[in-house]
Amino acid sequence: MFQKNMELELLIEDIGVNGEGIGKAGGAAFFVKDAVIGDRVLVKIMKMKKRYGYARLIKVLSPSLYRTKPLCDYYRQCGGCQLQVLAYAQQLQYKERKVRNNLERIGGFRFAEIEQDKQRILFHPVIGMEEPFFYRNKAQFPVGTDKEGKIITGFYAARSHTIISNRSCCLGADINEKILDIVISFMEQHHISAYDEASGTGLVRHVVIRYGFVTKEIMVCLVINGSSMPGADKLAAELQKLPGMTSVLLNVNEEQTNVILGSRVIKLWGQEYISDFIGNVKYRISPLSFYQVNPVQTKKLYETALAYAGLTGREIVWDLYCGIGTISLFLARQSKRVYGVEIVAPAIEDARNNARINGIENVEFFVGKAEEVLPQWYEREKIFADVIVVDPPRKGCDMKCLETIVKMQPERVVYVSCDSATLARDLKYLCERGYELREVQPVDMFPQTTHTECVVGIQRKHI
């Protein structure tokens, strides 16, 4: 019935997990990028399966009440913001519904039946932002050339590595544009080549910028396909003129890979790190450190994790996937001792420095995989835990890690998640083995995108 290149009208009735509008016709569902709930649209079918298809938006025939004018001129081309045409209040509803649906569908949690089961699970409304733009403290700009050979930087188009030229992103700090102007001007004047992914040639691959929202300190790190860059001292001298410039670095990445940063860092000027605060805790951030990109929401996220941990000052706490110790140091001031585990060695070095500069002594950090370090200390050293906090990558916790958590039987588990699907899977495992879900708090860490963070509190059952 439906074929590729066919045009049809749709009423958009829902939003998919990747932010696409969903409309139905003739028993088939169609996914339409840049369409929002309530839009009546004209689309062109690009790919057709038996019961669903993908279509390109041609024209909005009747706009939704929820449609809003995007702040960015490159919204449709760029793959960074999937929801910018959707009013922010509806973005929050979408994210809350996404978390709830994953917990119900994958985890088997039935929030509508809580009272009947005499089990009290609090699902809190998502925490949004007053200003859902210009919130990112880190930006990674790929560098390349356009069809005329001119050096450009910007962001990748959706599902591609084609660079959309744009130096002004409405999610990042204002200073980013000035920094990119200086870097591109330097490259043009000194004939420094941009990296070409197809051939693996060219020097400058990415410009990575970190900005301290509290301290106003700035780090600029150029990722290069080589061990040095001609005239690098002149670039550092120009960047030094910007207020707040603290660190100018090179990062060496000579691999043909999609991974942005290599392991070797060369200091051109200043420090090899910047500092910033979350609450009253100071953090030292190096170019290889994982550090949450939204400092305003991070404070709310960590305060929620701290509340769910239920600390009284007597607890032994394990913080798994601890990064540079951001959550660990929040927890340490209200617990007896905290042990942090992280696989990235430079992050652990930062974590130890962060403990030192904050005068926090009741923490200890280990380099290694959480699924290896935790069993070793439990089985050989007999170190137990009253509370375990996990903040894993998008793939969720390793099974060995979950097995050890169940064996250690902590009173409480606090799970910080950036993917509610893997969160639901891991919660199901824990709640089938002696734990019960108590509280769920979604936090909008990434406005204008489909991503959301979530904190849950889990309690050991006492039978």
The domains of the chain, with CATH numbers, are 7-62 (2.40.50.140), 138-278 (2.40.50.1070), 294-460 (3.40.50.150)
pLDDT at 119: 58
Q: Is the pLDDT of residue 463 over 70?
A: no
Q: Is the pLDDT of residue 294 over 60?
A: yes
pLDDT at 114: 45
Q: What dihedral do alpha carbons 156, 160, 163, 168 form, nearest 10°?
A: -20
**Overall average pLDDT of the 9-18 stretch:** 92
The β-bridge partners of 49 are none
Structure tokens at 420: 């509610």
Q: Which of 60-74, 109-123, 218-232, 233-247 shows the lowest mean pLDDT across its residues?
A: 109-123
**Overall average pLDDT of the 367-391 stretch:** 86
- Spot the catalytic one: 322, 418, 431, 454: 418
12 with 1: CB under 8 angstroms?
Answer: no
DSSP H helical ranges for 63-174: 88-105
How many CB atoms neighbour CB 18 within 10 A?
A: 11
Q: What dihedral do alpha carbons 119, 121, 122, 128 form, nearest 10°?
A: -170
Alpha carbons 109 and 97: distance in angstroms, whole number: 14
CA-based torsion, 227, 233, 234, 237: positive or negative:
positive
Which is higher by pLDDT, 42 or 159?
A: 42
Q: Which of 111-125, 258-272, 398-412 shows the lowest mean pLDDT across its residues?
A: 111-125
pTM above 0.75, yes or no: yes
SS3 361: coil
Q: Which residues contact 120 (CB under 8 A, 6 or more apart)?
A: 114, 438
pLDDT at 112: 55
pLDDT at 36: 93
Alpha carbons 67 and 408: distance in angstroms, whole number: 50
Q: Is the pLDDT of residue 220 over 90?
A: yes
Looking at this protein, which amino acid is placed at residue 79?
A: G
Query: Confidence class of residue 123 from pLDDT cuts 50, 70 and 90?
Result: very high
Alpha carbons 299 and 214: distance in angstroms, whole number: 12
Q: Is the pLDDT of residue 378 over 50?
A: yes
Closest to 318 measured CA to CA, from 376, 246, 270: 376
Query: Confidence class of residue 373 from pLDDT cuts 50, 70 and 90?
Result: confident
Question: Terminal CA-to-CA distance of the chain, rounded, Å?
Answer: 58
Q: Is the pLDDT of residue 113 over 50?
A: no
Place of tokens 């605060």: 277
The β-bridge partners of 418 are none
Q: Is the pLDDT of residue 381 over 90?
A: no
Q: Which of 31-35, 308-312, 331-335, 375-379 shows the lowest mean pLDDT across its residues?
A: 375-379
Structure tokens at 157: 């188009």
Share the mean pLDDT of the chain: 92
pLDDT at 379: 76
Secondary element (H or E) of residue 9: strand 7-15
Alpha carbons 302 and 331: distance in angstroms, whole number: 9
**Overall average pLDDT of the 245-264 stretch:** 94
Q: Is 81 a catalytic residue?
A: no
Structure tokens at 144: 């390349």
**Overall average pLDDT of the 210-224 stretch:** 97
Q: Is the pLDDT of residue 118 over 60?
A: no
Q: Is the pLDDT of residue 40 over 80?
A: yes
